[in-house]
Structure 1
Amino acid sequence: MPWAKGQQLQNGKYVIEEVLGQGGFGITYKALQIELNRHVVIKTPNEYLSYDPDYQKYIERFIEEGQILARLSQDPHPHIVGVIELFQEGNTHCLVMDFVPGENLFEAVRNRGALPEAEIVHCIRQIGEALCVLHQAGLVHRDAHPGNIMLRKNDKAVLIDFGIAKQIIPLTLSSTNRAGNDGFAPYEQRTRGSREPTVDIYCLAATLYYAVTGQRPTTSLARKLDNTLLTPPKEIISSISEQLNRAILKGMALEAEDRPQSMQSWLAMLEVPKQTSPPTVEPVHRKEVVRPPEAKSASKATPGQAATKSPRIIPWGWLVGVLLNYLFIGYSLAMSNGSLGAWAWAGAWAGAWAWAVALGGGVALAGAGNVAVALAGRVAGGVAVTVVWAVAVALAFGGVAGVVAAAGAMAWAVAWAVAAAAAWKKLLESFNKFHTFLILAGVSSLGLGLGWIGHWVFNTRS
């Protein structure tokens, strides 16, 4: 019978507190180590196995694996439970291990549901690394199901309760047939007692399936004997990545030869491919976008010499074209006399400002390069001036002459609209919208003024 609470072992060195679990081979107890005042776990073979003719083989295997785990504990692994000692209490052999506080993976899923991919993959990788150490030492855990994986509060997972001696005990007594392990063992373990590393790969992949879906996977025996299909985890939780979905299905391949043949190979399937960082765009942006091509050479500094500031680029040719066009407009408007001339002059002046404002509005609306909207602003500005100027000229000349003059005015309007639009584009490369507006409005006003002065000078001399 299992030891009762308060049972003292090793002359009072350990005191039994409770039974943590009982399987086909062994019983696991939580006990208090009196001298160090700490909790430990004590695992023993089941008492009824003593009547089995192969009982001595079970004990020899139990001691052998316990000694191997004790040697591993001399260089402790952070994700493998530490083994403290082996001793015999009467006829019962005992393996003492560290007590790991926290909740096991079964409890975590029961309390929280399916766990986030990033969180659980991190923990499963830790357990996989622990199993790699065991495999290198010639051991296979064979029981890496969610109940034997403890999740600590420091985001560390610990592998506990090794499946000691399961290779030789009767399969009907094996803990792999317990409800807690149902669905996590490959069929070759359940039918032939396999102790190949591929057994641990299946167990851990099935554990990962359970953690990310919150559902137990279809048992390997049902898949093998009844041809029941395993539902891919991504069909249960659509947010699971394709990479994780493939890794789980590969690790749970029904036949051992179809799985990765080493734990390292399977863990590699869980790794996120490393992405090379793209080259920084800041230097390229500064040289190729912000600075105009003509300013590149001026912005480069020679050794020992500070870099000079890029000069402002002013489209003198286009601005001269705008000036000449407005000079002609001013001269034409000044040819009318009296109040009509004053009204025409005022209309042209207002048109110049309306054109500049509309042009600026069009570019402002254009934002990141919407050419159609920018063009609409320019056309709106051009129409504003053209209408004022054509009406003024038609009124000044009257009759057929006025219509002809108005048609000429429209032709000139197209000319200066093209020149002004090009000038605006060039100016924006070096100036902000407000400064560009002031430059164009000033050039337009200067052209109108010079046209009026020119007409006045010629009329005075004649």
Structure 2
Amino acid sequence: MTAGGLALRLAPGGTVEARNGLLRLTPGEVLRIILDVAEGLTALHRAGFVHGDLHPGNILLDADGRAVVGDLGSARRIGDTAAPRWAADGFLPAAPGDGPADDVYGLGALAWRLAVGAVPGPEASRPPLAAVLPSLARLSRLVDDSLADDARRRPGLEAWRRAAARGAATRVAGVGWAGVPQASSSFTTEPLPAPGERRRER
């Protein structure tokens, strides 16, 4: 952060979207990325901003493989009622608001996308994350609550910070995808749109 605006540290590792396109992420890697993003969002919110456009293409990797929240073009002041002009499909709630709760939803959607391989479907027909990926059961409720349609039901980022403090990533680090069930066709998820269709005007 700078006095005149927002600044990012150098992140030469490319985007999480590109990384996930080349190699499937392990549950441990998913957790590490999500917890890094939660830390970045916490700093952004403390500075008085919301990001408003979280998705794998906006999460960068630094030289140490740590995730950095990038593309602040949609960032706006907390309380600014103007909705983002552009947003990635599936990463904003059905009724966007004007505060950090939208970023919490985006964080939950990011976790779901990286873990399951699709953006989350509607809350009414979406299964708990633990039913899709038992290896992430420890964070299932946190992800599920973050994706609540009602912003008042979403946890604060402090809940994600507590998850990091408990060492959630360490407990499952190294767990691969072998034997981990993928989303069943009966589960309501939505595939990502083609690159040219990913962003929509609001």
TM-score by length of 2: 0.70
- Opposite residue 197 of structure 1, the aligned amino acid is P
What RMSD, in angstroms, separates the aligned Cα atoms of the two structures?
2.7
Q: Deviations over 1:59-81 (max 9, x none)?
A: xxxxxx99232xxx5xxxxxxx1
**CA distance 1:184–1:196, change in 2 (3 Å):** same
Q: Check whether the contact 1:185–1:202 (CA below 8 A) recurs between aligned residues.
A: yes
**Alignment-derived partner of residue 117 in structure 2:** 214
**CA distance 1:145–1:201, change in 2 (3 Å):** same
CA distance in 1 between partners of 2:43 and 2:152 (Å): 22
2:141 corresponds, among 228, 246, 264, to 246
Cα offset for 1:153? Answer: 4.5
Larger radius of gyration: 1
Q: Deviations over 1:175-230 (max 9, x none)?
A: 11xxxx111111222xxxx2211111110111011111222211xxxx3xxx7512
Gaps of 5+ in 2: 169-202
SS in 2 for 1:268: helix
Equivalences, count: 164
- Opposite residue 188 of structure 1, the aligned amino acid is A
CA distance in 1 between partners of 2:104 and 2:21 (Å): 23
TM-score by length of 1: 0.32
CA distance in 1 between partners of 2:76 and 2:101 (Å): 18
SS in 2 for 1:187: coil
**Alignment-derived partner of residue 107 in structure 1:** 18
Q: Check whether the contact 1:247–1:270 (CA below 8 A) recurs between aligned residues.
A: no
Q: Check whether the contact 2:52–2:76 (CA below 8 A) recurs between aligned residues.
A: no
CA distance in 1 between partners of 2:138 and 2:165 (Å): 9
SS in 2 for 1:188: coil
**CA distance 1:268–1:214, change in 2 (3 Å):** same
**Alignment-derived partner of residue 125 in structure 1:** 35
Matches within 5 A, 1:11-410: 67-69=4-6, 73=7, 81-82=8-9, 100-113=11-24, 115-162=25-72, 163-165=74-76, 167=80, 174-176=85-87, 181-189=88-96, 194-218=97-121, 223=122, 228-238=124-134, 240-260=135-155, 262-269=156-163, 271-272=165-166
Q: Deviations over 1:76-103 (max 9, x none)?
A: xxxxx14xxxxxxxxxxxxxxx5x3223
**Alignment-derived partner of residue 287 in structure 1:** none
Q: Check whether the contact 2:49–2:76 (CA below 8 A) recurs between aligned residues.
A: no
Q: Check whether the contact 2:13–2:63 (CA below 8 A) recurs between aligned residues.
A: yes
Point out which structure has higher relative CO (alpha carbons under 8 A, 6+ apart): 2
Q: Deviations over 1:380-416 (max 9, x none)?
A: xxxxxxxxxxxxxxxxxxxxxxxxxxxxxxxxxxxxx
Gaps of 5+ in 1: 1-64, 74-80, 83-97, 275-462
Q: Deviations over 1:27-46 (max 9, x none)?
A: xxxxxxxxxxxxxxxxxxxx
SS in 1 for 2:68: strand
**CA distance 1:210–1:102, change in 2 (3 Å):** same
What is the percentage of aligned positions where both structures have the same residue? 26
CA distance in 1 between partners of 2:90 and 2:33 (Å): 20
Question: Relative to total residues, which structure has the larger helix share, 1 or 2?
Answer: 1
Q: Check whether the contact 2:13–2:65 (CA below 8 A) recurs between aligned residues.
A: no
